[in-house]
Every structure is written in structure tokens, then in C-alpha cells.
């Protein structure tokens, strides 16, 4: 782990050129793209990080799995560094395959990451989560498959409200994602709706792998956060038992803001673990 954090430190605290450097003396972590969505009726900005071997002529026929990352600007550097370290052939880590990271920058989190509306005194745009998932599945993924050398293996990662959308995607009969990483998901938002979705889940719905990370939000938020995460997992286990492919970790020393870094690392280790290892 000490080598991992040293690697991550260099990436996160490096010069600003590190992300989009064009000079021959800089190291590029990624580049930006834009895609117009007919479904959302707007342009969406993407941050893309390609594996080290992607441009290697000897790997010209190699294909790569994709990570779709929500809250892109916030988590792109961290996730790209972790994925680069875990999939590094130079360091012989082999904790996961070399993977393309595609981060979607935000426009309206409450609109895009929630599938239901809450009653508020002010007007709100909540409840567009299904539409946003349709954009990812019907427009973004086909765009990426056409532009890059991709495999059909895809992972969805989200934190907080992004974690809520990740859980909702997991519960749907979604064929485009194979694994899901939900970081301290805001299950309190629509817990009743979510539990009803669990009651109607099918074998197809729960046949995918899910990693759920829970942060320590203190005694005041225990009922709202950890207890609801535990209840959600228990409800799934009651319905599906050993058929589930789920792991939940409680990060007692991490709060809602600090938990993404260890959660992404531990979550990707679990999601990429081969049966029998």
C-alpha cells in the first residue's frame, strides 16, 4: 500500500500540466471530449484516461474494459491514478486489467443522479436519473465503443448521490454494466422506493457484482447513513441469499468526503477479483 499512496501523491500533487499537458516534457493523465446528447438535449463534457499500453504499437489489437465515473471533475485524477497503479504491468500489480476511465462532468447533480422527486419549498429539477442512465447506455457507451478499442466489460462508479444512482442502476435489469461501485450512497433519498425495487428484483438484476462503501458520518447521522446501508444489504441478502455478489466495507476512520480514495481502491480489488483467488 505504501507504494500505491506514493504513486497517488505524485499524480495528485503534480503540476497542473499533468492533466492536459501538451508539452513534450509533461506527463498526460488524460484529455477532454464533448458529446452532444439528444436524450438530455445538451452537450456533456468528458474526461478520458487511457491505459499506458493503449498507444503501444505492439498492443494495437488490444481491447480494454471501461469505467464510467460520475462526478467526473472531482474524482477523475484520483480514480485514474488508482486504476493506473492497480493495472500497472510495469509494477506487476495485476490487481485489475488495464482500463479506460471515462469521467462525466456535472451539469445538475440533483437532476441526473436521482430517480424520484422530493417535496421541497423551492422548485427543483430532481428525478432525472433514469434519463441520465439512458444517456449513458444509449449514447455515451456506443460513442466510446466506436471511438476506442473497448471490451464489453463496464463498471459504474458513483459517490453520494452518484452512489445512489449507481445502486439504482444495479437494481435495474441493466445489461450494459457488469460491476458497480457505490461510495457512501445517499440511500436516505428514496429508501422506500429502493426497497420496493429490491422486492421486484430478478436474477438478472442481482447477477452483477456490487461493492458498497460506508463512511463514518458520526452518531448524528448513524440512522440516516450506516443503519440504512446495513438494512439495504440485509434486505437484499434476505431475498437472494448466497446468489448475491456483494461486498460492503465500513470505513470507520473516514468521513463522507475522505472515503472515496480508499473505497475506490478496495472496491476495484473486489470487483476485479477472480473467483477462487
Cα separation of 216 and 226, whole Å? 7
* Mean model confidence pLDDT for the chain: 88
Q: Beta strands 64-69 and 209-215: pairing type?
A: unpaired
Q: What is the pLDDT of residue 23?
A: 57
Strand order in the sheet with 64-69: 31-37, 42-49, 100-104, 64-69, 150-159, 179-183, 209-215, 245-251
Among the listed residues 68, 16, 21, the one whose alpha carbon sits nearest the alpha carbon of residue 47: 68
- Express each pLDDT in 100-126 by its tens digit: 999 999 999 999 999 988 888 888 999
Q: Are 161 and 186 in contact (CB under 8 A)?
A: yes
pLDDT of 79-105, one tens digit each? 999 999 999 877 777 899 999 999 999
Q: Please give the average per-residue pLDDT across 243-270, as a whole number.
A: 96
Rounded distance, CA 185 to CA 96, Å? 24
Q: Which residues contact 267 (CB under 8 A, 6 or more apart)?
A: 157, 181, 183, 211, 213, 249
pLDDT band for position 153 (cuts 50, 70, 90) = very high
Task: Please give the sequence-ordered ranges of beta strands (E in DSSP) within 133-263, or none if there are none.
Answer: 150-159, 179-183, 209-215, 245-251
The Cα-based distances of 125 to 2, 110, 231, 243 in angstroms read 43, 7, 28, 37
- Per-residue pLDDT, 109: 96
**Confidence check: pLDDT of 131 > 50:** yes
3-class SS at 178? coil
pLDDT tens, position by position, 205-232: 888 999 999 999 988 888 889 999 999 9
Whole-number pLDDT of residue 206: 87
User: Which tens digits make up the pLDDT trace of 33-52?
Assistant: 999 999 999 999 999 999 98
Nearest to 52 by CA among 12, 76, 14, 81: 81
User: pLDDT confidence of 69, banded at 50, 70, 90?
Assistant: very high
Q: So what's the pLDDT on residue 20?
A: 45
pLDDT of residue 13: 45
H helices of 181-253, in order, are 191-199, 226-240
Confidence check: pLDDT of 19 > 90 = no
pLDDT mean over 257-261: 96
Specify the residue for cell string 422506493: 193
The reported pLDDT for the residue numbered 200 is 85
Q: Please, is 217 exposed, middle or buried when counting C-beta atoms within 10 Å of its C-beta (0-12, 13-18, 19+)? A: middle
Whole-prediction pTM: 0.89
Report the pLDDT value the prediction gives residue 98, as an integer from 0 to 100: 95
Q: What is the pLDDT of residues 21-31, one digit of tens each?
A: 455 667 778 89
pLDDT in the model for residue 276: 45
43 sits in which H/E element: strand 42-49
Amino acid at each position: 500500500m505504501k507504494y500505491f499512496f506514493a504513486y497517488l501523491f505524485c499524480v495528485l500533487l503534480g503540476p497542473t500540466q499533468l492533466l492536459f499537458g501538451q508539452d513534450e516534457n509533461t506527463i498526460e493523465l488524460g484529455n477532454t471530449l464533448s458529446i452532444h446528447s439528444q436524450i438530455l438535449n445538451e452537450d456533456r463534457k468528458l474526461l478520458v484516461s487511457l491505459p499506458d499500453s493503449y498507444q503501444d504499437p505492439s498492443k494495437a489489437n488490444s481491447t480494454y474494459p471501461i469505467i464510467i465515473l460520475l462526478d467526473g471533475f472531482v474524482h477523475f485524477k484520483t480514480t485514474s491514478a488508482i486504476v493506473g497503479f492497480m493495472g500497472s504491468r510495469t509494477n506487476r500489480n495485476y490487481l485489475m486489467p488495464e482500463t479506460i476511465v471515462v469521467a462525466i462532468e456535472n451539469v445538475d447533480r440533483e437532476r441526473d443522479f436521482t430517480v424520484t422527486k422530493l417535496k421541497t419549498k423551492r422548485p427543483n429539477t430532481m428525478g432525472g436519473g433514469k434519463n441520465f442512465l439512458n444517456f449513458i447506455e444509449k449514447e455515451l457507451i456506443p460513442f466510446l465503443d466506436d471511438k476506442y478499442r473497448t471490451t464489453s466489460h463496464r463498471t459504474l462508479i458513483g459517490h453520494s448521490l452518484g452512489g445512489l444512482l449507481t445502486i439504482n442502476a444495479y437494481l435495474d435489469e441493466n445489461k450494459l454494466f457488469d460491476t458497480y461501485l457505490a461510495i457512501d450512497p445517499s440511500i436516505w433519498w428514496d429508501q422506500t422506493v429502493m426497497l420496493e425495487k429490491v422486492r421486484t428484483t430478478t436474477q438478472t438484476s442481482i447477477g452483477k457484482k456490487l461493492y458498497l462503501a460506508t463512511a463514518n458520518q458520526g452518531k448524528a447521522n448513524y440512522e440516516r447513513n450506516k443503519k440504512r446501508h446495513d438494512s439495504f444489504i440485509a434486505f437484499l441478502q434476505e431475498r437472494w441469499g448466497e446468489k448475491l455478489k456483494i461486498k460492503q466495507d465500513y470505513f470507520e476512520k473516514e468521513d463522507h468526503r475522505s472515503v472515496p480514495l480508499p473505497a475506490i481502491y478496495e472496491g476495484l480489488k473486489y470487483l476485479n477479483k477472480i473467483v477462487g483467488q
